[in-house]
A = this chain, B = another copy of it.
Amino acid sequence: MSGNSFGKAFVVTTWGESHGKALGAVIDGCPPRLRLTESDIQNELDRRRARGAPASTTRREPDKVEILSGVFEERTTGTPISLLIHNKDVDSKAYEAIKDTFRPGHGDITYQKKYAIRDYRGGGRASGRETAARVAAGAVARAVLDQEGITVTAYTLELAGIRAQKMDLEDVEKNPFLTPDRDAVALMEKKIEEIRTCGDSAGGVVEVLVHGCPPGLGEPVFDKLDADLAKALMSIGAVKAVEIGVGMEAARLLGSECNDEITPEGFATNRSGGILAGISNGDDIILRAAVKPIPSIQIEQKTIDIHSQPTTISVKGRHDISAIPRIVPVCEAMVRLVIVDHLLRQRVLG
């Protein structure tokens, strides 16, 4: 009844703690005969790594992935694909201080209450580092999607209150914030620097765009495509809200403003975000995730220790200022996992 697996047809199980020996993923259900190499996966992992972006940690993990099974002569065989990433740059000393103290905004206190034991080093299983395994699995999903002509692109729509005004998707990979608005980059950089100086942290909004998704994906009534996408994004530690299409704005629109009229050439608008009654309609799928600020801040905060005694904490360690942009490839990976899962599930209908 534990929850470390995701998907029903394309099933990903991840494991590993931030400061353990390694972390990894097992993918069960990947179709056979797809071309897949370690460098396909490495490419995606490299996008998630800290790259000297102003918002990022100074921990430097090479995140070198190994494929241990399920691939023979660079082709998937239909058997489980086991991916392994060793932890190298582990420095647990900084965490001794928080062994007995719960960091506000973190899972320290809830893990302790749930399990009555926890690997406190680096946040253990609750660390953002866990998402490396998701990204690796997402790269396998990408191999399936590439073959079907489906692309998934995530980008920073907003960071620390600065919102992208332009949508040049080809610019996304050209700037450290993975934003489609090159003019916003300098503003974001400046803002992040200010926040860092204050010892504080920042959140933002990630948008994900799925192009080329065929109509018909999604399973009524509970495993709707949007329901599974919402779960996928909300399962990422820092995410506090998920929107599909017009999202929250739907609450204020009239029916005549919210419906997408249908023409022989397709939908006239895309307010639905590409999903109707939980099933893809063939249009682009658009969704957004609100990312909260990194809870580890240097500003002193009130908290308690494991004996419920009051204390204060100022988190040092090697932390990002914002989960953005490193969370961007994670959102992309999670959306890929959902799309592949539903693509395979749809095949059952024959």
Contacts and interface: CB of A to CB of B under 8 A. Distances in A.
A308 interface: yes
Contact of A349 (B31, B198, B293): B31
Contacts of A16: 68-69, 80, 82
Interface in A115-141: 115-119, 124-126, 130
Nearest 7 pairs between A and B by C-beta?
Answer: A107-B277, A3-B223, A3-B219, A201-B255, A110-B279, A231-B231, A15-B80
Contacts of A292: 246, 250-251, 253, 258
B258 A105 contact: yes
B256 A345 contact: no
Given A15-B70, A295-B259, A235 B264 contact: no
Contact of A117 (B17, B28, B75): B75
Nearest to A260: B104
B125 A79 contact: yes
Contacts of A6: 222
10 contacts: A32-B349, A72-B117, A114-B346, A126-B220, A203-B253, A230-B233, A250-B290, A250-B291, A256-B301, A259-B301
A277 B126 contact: yes
A281 interface: yes
A263 interface: yes
Contacts of A158: 251-252
A143 interface: no
Contacts of A295: 255, 258-259
Interface in A57-110: 66-70, 72, 75, 77-82, 84, 102, 104-107, 109-110
Interface string A1-33: 111111011010111110011111010110111
Contacts of A226: 234, 240
A227 interface: yes
B1 A9 contact: yes
A248 B254 contact: no
A118 to B, nearest CB: 6
A241 B240 contact: no
Q: Which of A14, A258, A275 has the most CB of B within 10 A?
A: A258
Given A117-B78, A248-B248, A111 B279 contact: yes
A255 B105 contact: yes
A294 B255 contact: yes
A261 B312 CA distance: 9
A205 interface: yes
A246 B133 CA distance: 28
Nearest to A19: B72
Q: Which of A5, A110, A308 has the most CB of B within 10 A?
A: A110
A237 B161 CA distance: 31
A87 to B, nearest CB: 10
A200 interface: yes
B276 A109 contact: yes
Contacts of A255: 105, 200-202, 293-297, 299
A24 to B, nearest CB: 6
